[in-house]
Amino acid sequence: MQNSLRLPEPALFADEYATQAKMRLDNLTKPLGSLGDLELVIRQLAGIQRRIIPQLQHPHFLVFAADHGVAAAHQVSRYGQEVTEEMAVNMAMGSSVSAVLARQHKIPVRVIDVGICRAVRHPDVVVRKIGHGTSDFTQGPAMTHTQLAQAIQVGIDEANRAMDAGADLLLLGELGIGNTTSATALAAWLLDKPVSALVGRGTGVDDEGMQRKMKVIEMALAACHAAEAESDWLDGFARLGGFELAAIAGAMLAGAARRVPTLLDGLMTGVAALWATKMAPALAAYLLAGHLSPEPAHKLILAAIGCQPLLTLSLRVGEGTGALFAWPILASGLKVMAESATFADARVTNPHQDASADEHVENIYTNQTEAPVAADFSLAEREAVYKVILARRDIRVFLPQPLDPKIVTRILQAGHHGPSVGYMQPWNFIVIEDKDVLLRLQHVVDKARVEAGRVYADAKRDYYLRLKVEGLVEAPLTICVTNDSTRGGPHVLGRHTIPETDLMSTACAIENMWLAARAEGVAMGWVSIYEKQDVRDVLSIPAHVDPCALLTLGYTPHFPDIPVLERVGWGERLQLDDLIYQNEWGALPEK
Ligand SMILES: Cc1cc2ncn([C@H]3O[C@H](COP(=O)(O)O)[C@@H](O)[C@H]3O)c2cc1C
Ligand SMILES: O=C(O)c1cccnc1
């Protein structure tokens, strides 16, 4: 074995999370254990991901394709060897069974040529050929140890590439005319079972074909035996295996090293998994079985690696289709785990819960031993959130360039996704670009500004009047955000004692818009010096609707580091420490 190959080590499986996932499953509003095998899979994923409610959001589908010397030399398949290349092209064109399924579920597909005989005639197939098919394994080893290491490395590289792109589940598939012969030989060796108990029809060979398959497998196993390779996992695999099978094994090991599970397909992915668990027994915890193939060896393989198949549909396509058909079921199981109510949440009587404990339902999360991992946002993404919060400024100086309508739509979307009490969504957005309307709003603001100046003593008034508070005419766009307190009817959830929650909600929408604008490089100013009735008149807003903000938007020559009002000496940022009390009003924490 080439010493440059180092097999990835599966990460430690966290039993405590699997246990807590079971506690949650037992607390969901369903009969105990009634999600059947899905419960086992959910618990397994909890242990893999170290979270009580596991999530799989970015499955990636990797198909490894290669040819087999045995198929060229002995008719062990119903189809000719050229079909491997033709099917790789078909898959890359999105027309194979597997490609259709992947497209339906929006799963990215990557087809990798690890050793197809022919040159593949499609630019999207990734070419990482280890050879032009393996050698006929009845005549000697299918591949050299160097080739085995290279093929495994292709799988490792491709899995890492997928995970770098965010994959949280690997769906692995294969193409290779004759590969059920190689896979069955591997199964016979790894399971130490007679070939006759394992061999199947593959693509549909007739009885004579079955005899040929058995004969060539026996020949290969005999050669393996003669070389005393049985107990050497690497040598046995090099003698009996295939490039695509080795790559698949590498990919699942790489996944397990990064806590990413693999959803298996049929015979070929199964036998690759069985071999890989010989190399690294801890891998078994990262394997999920999509389906049970009618190939006789498959059932024994799944039993040996301890996987329950999700589907038993007698599928015998290969290509990864058994994993792809199983994916939506797996996704549904996780959805149920995440979103169905517990007995306590739904106030449904739980016969498994002590009635006296009713008032004080045990929090199943309390015995969690470590802080949950921040799974949803990368460090860079988290930093970006704080960056935009700190960089947001109220801007009053605008360039005349118009805003791209797509950006405006995104800013409005951000506003509309603001939190609102009782989900009342009391806001409307009046988007104003008409210069005449803007001019009239400018007059309204100007009038109020001079009016407001009167409350200040002489010196401060002068100061105040020199502050630029509006950019209505300069900015290419102004949005009047309104608040309708009647939205949601008279009984809004959570609003009984605090009637102004409508306005609070609208304010949250405005802040969302402000942050979105800043991230887009768009300046925003919140103008609030006006008589509301004047704005209602200009914009024909009904009396019960509150025009609570005028937002001017556009590009600016400069976003200042500190707020303008701080820079000009109008005010300064208070010390956060002075504002945080502990347990009661006025109590500062001890320094
Ligand atoms: C058109 C076609 C599409 C396929 N997709 C998967 N396989 C499956 O059948 C082959 C293995 O069966 P055997 O050992 O009998 O050759 C592999 O390519 C496997 O992926 C296909 C086979 C064919 C013919
Ligand atoms: O079990 C499988 O995955 C399988 C069986 C026959 C042909 N291709 C794949």
Q: In ligand 2, which atom is closest to the CA atom of 203?
A: 7
CATH of the domain at 79: 3.40.50.10210
Q: Would residue 492 count as lying in a domain?
A: yes
Cα dihedral 457/460/465/468 (nearest 10): -150
Q: Is the CB of 463 under 6 A from ligand 1?
A: no
Which of 318, 348, 379 is a domain's end point? 318
Spatial neighbors of 550 by CB under 8 A, at least 6 apart, are 441, 445, 472, 478, 479, 480, 481, 526, 527, 528, 530, 535
Rounded to two decimals, the ipTM of the complex is: 0.96
| 503, pLDDT greater than 90 | yes
Q: In ligand 2, which atom is closest to the CA atom of 268?
A: 3
Q: Where does 345-499 show beta strands of DSSP type E? A: 427-432, 477-484
Q: Is 314 in the same domain as 373?
A: no
Q: Would residue 40 count as lying in a domain?
A: no
Give 294 Cα–ligand 1 centroid separation in angstroms: 14
Helix (H) or strand (E) holding 164: helix 145-164
pLDDT number for residue 364: 61
Q: In ligand 2, which atom is closest to the CA atom of 294?
A: 1
pLDDT number for residue 79: 97
Nearest ligand to the CA of 177 is 1
Residue nearest to atom 7 of ligand 2 (CA): 202
Q: Would residue 78 count as lying in a domain?
A: yes
Structure tokens at 475: 């900015």
3-class SS at 126? strand
Give 175 Cα–ligand 1 centroid separation in angstroms: 6
Percent of the chain predicted with pLDDT > 70: 93
- Asked whether the beta carbons of 462 and 486 are under 8 A apart, the reply is no
Q: Is 276 in the same domain as 403?
A: no
Q: In ligand 2, which atom is closest to the CA atom of 293?
A: 1
Give 294 Cα–ligand 2 centroid separation in angstroms: 8
Residue nearest to atom 20 of ligand 1 (CA): 175
| 376, pLDDT greater than 80 | no
Residues near ligand 2 (Cβ within 6 A): 180, 202-203, 265-268, 293, 295, 298, 316, 318
* Dist CA 242 CA 143 (whole Å): 8
| 357, pLDDT greater than 60 | no
Of 95, 101, 175, 293, the residue with max ligand 1 atoms within 8 A of its CB, to mutate for a pocket test, comes to 175
pLDDT number for residue 490: 77
Kindly report the average pLDDT of the chain as a whole number: 92
Which one is predicted more confidently, 54 or 567? 54
Q: Residue 256: phi, psi to the nearest 5? A: -60, -35
Q: Would residue 339 count as lying in a domain?
A: no
Helix (H) or strand (E) holding 377: none
Q: Is 208 in the same domain as 306?
A: yes
Which one is predicted more confidently, 412 or 528? 412
Structure tokens at 523: 């300046």
Nearest ligand to the CA of 182 is 1
Q: Is the CB of 173 under 6 A from ligand 1?
A: no
Q: Is 279 in the same domain as 140?
A: yes
Residue 28 pairs with which residues in a beta bridge? 342
Give 181 Cα–ligand 2 centroid separation in angstroms: 10
pLDDT number for residue 13: 96
- Asked whether the beta carbons of 126 and 155 are under 8 A apart, the reply is no
pLDDT number for residue 277: 98
Of 172, 212, 216, 319, the residue with max ligand 1 atoms within 8 A of its CB, to mutate for a pocket test, comes to 319
* Dist CA 122 CA 108 (whole Å): 17
- Asked whether the beta carbons of 462 and 447 are under 8 A apart, the reply is no
Q: Is 158 in the same domain as 259?
A: yes
- Asked whether the beta carbons of 305 and 29 are under 8 A apart, the reply is no
pLDDT number for residue 246: 98
Give 303 Cα–ligand 1 centroid separation in angstroms: 24
Spatial neighbors of 289 by CB under 8 A, at least 6 apart, are 263, 264, 270, 302, 307, 308, 309, 310
Q: In ligand 2, which atom is closest to the CA atom of 298?
A: 1
Residue type, 128: R
Record the pTM: 0.82
Q: In ligand 1, which atom is closest to the CA atom of 181?
A: 14
3-class SS at 480? strand
Cα dihedral 348/351/356/361 (nearest 10): -60
- Asked whether the beta carbons of 138 and 219 are under 8 A apart, the reply is yes
Which one is predicted more confidently, 459 or 52? 52
Which of 283, 299, 318 is a domain's end point? 318
Residue range(s) defining the domain that contains residue 282? 58-318
* Dist CA 389 CA 410 (whole Å): 17
Q: Which of the residue ranges 422-426, 449-453, 472-476 would you say has the lowest mean pLDDT?
A: 449-453
Residue 465 pLDDT class (50, 70, 90 cuts)? low
Q: Is 164 in the same domain as 238?
A: yes
Residue 1 pLDDT class (50, 70, 90 cuts)? very low
Give the number of C-alpha atoms closer than 13 A to the C-alpha of residue 391, restricted to the C-beta side: 17
Q: Would residue 383 count as lying in a domain?
A: yes
Q: Which of the residue ranges 107-121, 274-288, 294-308, 573-587 would you say has the lowest mean pLDDT?
A: 573-587
* Dist CA 457 CA 448 (whole Å): 17
* Dist CA 434 CA 153 (whole Å): 62
Q: Which of the residue ranges 38-42, 237-241, 463-467 would you say has the lowest mean pLDDT?
A: 463-467
Give 295 Cα–ligand 2 centroid separation in angstroms: 7
| 470, pLDDT greater than 90 | no
Residues 146-175 have a mean pLDDT of 98
Structure tokens at 298: 């498959």
Nearest ligand to the CA of 316 is 2
| 591, pLDDT greater than 80 | no
Residues 388-413 have a mean pLDDT of 95
Residues 494-508 have a mean pLDDT of 89
* Dist CA 564 CA 561 (whole Å): 9
- Asked whether the beta carbons of 149 and 241 are under 8 A apart, the reply is no
Q: Which of the residue ranges 21-35, 205-219, 304-318, 368-382 would you say has the lowest mean pLDDT?
A: 368-382
Q: Would residue 118 count as lying in a domain?
A: yes
Cα dihedral 354/359/363/364 (nearest 10): 20
By residue count, the chain amounts to 591
CATH of the domain at 516: 3.40.109.10
| 569, pLDDT greater than 90 | no
Give 563 Cα–ligand 1 centroid separation in angstroms: 66
Residue nearest to atom 8 of ligand 2 (CA): 318
Q: Is 374 in the same domain as 297?
A: no
- Asked whether the beta carbons of 108 and 61 are under 8 A apart, the reply is yes
Q: Is the CB of 178 under 6 A from ligand 1?
A: yes
Q: Is 265 in the same domain as 168?
A: yes
pLDDT number for residue 375: 66
Q: Is 414 in the same domain as 313?
A: no
Q: Is the CB of 181 under 6 A from ligand 1?
A: yes
pLDDT number for residue 451: 83
Q: Is 418 in the same domain as 550?
A: yes
Q: Would residue 357 count as lying in a domain?
A: no
Give the chain's domain count: 2
Which one is predicted more confidently, 4 or 397? 397
pLDDT number for residue 367: 56
* Dist CA 411 CA 509 (whole Å): 10
pLDDT number for residue 530: 93
Q: In ligand 2, which atom is closest to the CA atom of 269?
A: 3
Nearest ligand to the CA of 267 is 2
pLDDT number for residue 2: 46
Percent of the chain predicted with pLDDT > 90: 81
pLDDT number for residue 462: 66
Which of 318, 338, 357 is a domain's end point? 318
Of 96, 244, 267, the residue with max ligand 2 atoms within 8 A of its CB, to mutate for a pocket test, comes to 267
Q: Which of the residue ranges 14-18, 41-45, 458-462 would you say has the lowest mean pLDDT?
A: 458-462
Q: Would residue 230 count as lying in a domain?
A: yes
Nearest ligand to the CA of 270 is 2
Q: Is 293 in the same domain as 418?
A: no
Catalytic residues: 319
- Asked whether the beta carbons of 58 and 166 are under 8 A apart, the reply is yes
| 18, pLDDT greater than 80 | yes
Q: Is 454 in the same domain as 549?
A: yes
Q: Is the CB of 77 under 6 A from ligand 1?
A: yes
